[in-house]
A = this chain, B = another copy of it.
Amino acid sequence: MVRAATRTQAAPGIPLSNSAFETIIDAFHGCLTRMDPAGGDIWRTPPVVARALITEVGYGEYFPHLLGSVHVAAESGEISPTDLVLLPAGCYCIYPHYRGRTLMTPVDVGVEAICFRQESSHEVGRLRSFRMREFVHLDTELGCFGWRDEWLNRAEAWLSAIGLAPVRELASDPFFGAQRKVLAAMQRDQALKWELVVEVGPGIRQAVMSGNVHKTKFGDTFNITGPGGEAIHSACAAFGSDRLALALIHTHGPDPSAWPDTVRAQLILGGFA
């Protein structure tokens, strides 16, 4: 059995992973696909995305310090911005495909992405390039809160079953600028973001899943409405695949064939080879 491993590629937070590590990632993705009661299509997005889209959702305004911008050299040698940025979260790719639509029933869609955030810390699991599997739901406000809470329950039970002892914590996004405290407090007051936190390294606790409701932010931005013409609400459940693998290796060791039978059974049921 090959031991699951990653190497740092000269730049911190940019790991090179081997086949055994990828087998764990694939197993997670299989589990998550099977756990999704909606059974919707899973889209795959490249790691770069139209700059116009990320501007439209306001990411550059709220999180300019995390956003990677793609520049290239012109004939003259001068370096200029392109029409692309690095994708900061998978779900941004989904909403514009419903632009201007009136939804008569809730919509469920999944997305698998490699995301980039310019993290300033270099602790274990604090990757700058990382895999994210997300489920997105478009519905009423009540429908979105219910859907989000069901995913938190489901993910909590699953993470417990694979021995990761998750803790559910109210959270907020790492906003930038003068308004950051106000924005974070508002997010917490309304319980818009919950995370499931586990140990990914010795004494290092990080979120491996977040359940988010966005109110009508994306419905407003992309003019997506419900049957009565009201802006649609949205929610997403996001899983950090690399951190999940790091947490399992930290907890059970680098050789998946030596993991406890109960853990292996849970992963096998979800597609672990």
Contacts and interface: CB of A to CB of B under 8 A. Distances in A.
Given A9-B53, A83-B11, A71 B68 contact: yes
A9 B50 contact: yes
Contacts of A47: 46-48, 114, 116, 129
Contacts of A69: 70-73, 79
A45 B21 CA distance: 12
A46 B83 contact: no
Given A65-B73, A71-B71, A52 B10 contact: yes
A44 interface: yes
Nearest to A96: B10
Interface string A1-15: 010000101110011
A243 interface: no
A271 to B, nearest CB: 11
Interface residues of A, number: 53
Contact of A82 (B7, B43, B68, B82): B68
A45 B9 contact: yes
Contact of A84 (B14, B19, B48, B84): B14
Nearest to A69: B71
A42 B70 contact: no
A49 interface: yes
A16 interface: yes
A185 to B, nearest CB: 22
Contact of A14 (B22, B48, B77, B81): B48
A262 interface: no
21 contacts: A2-B41, A9-B50, A9-B53, A10-B96, A14-B49, A16-B46, A17-B43, A18-B41, A18-B42, A19-B41, A22-B112, A47-B116, A64-B77, A68-B70, A68-B71, A68-B82, A68-B84, A69-B79, A71-B81, A72-B118, A82-B118
Interface of A: 2, 7, 9-11, 14-19, 21-22, 41-53, 64-73, 75, 77, 79, 81-84, 86, 93, 96-97, 112, 114, 116, 118, 128-129
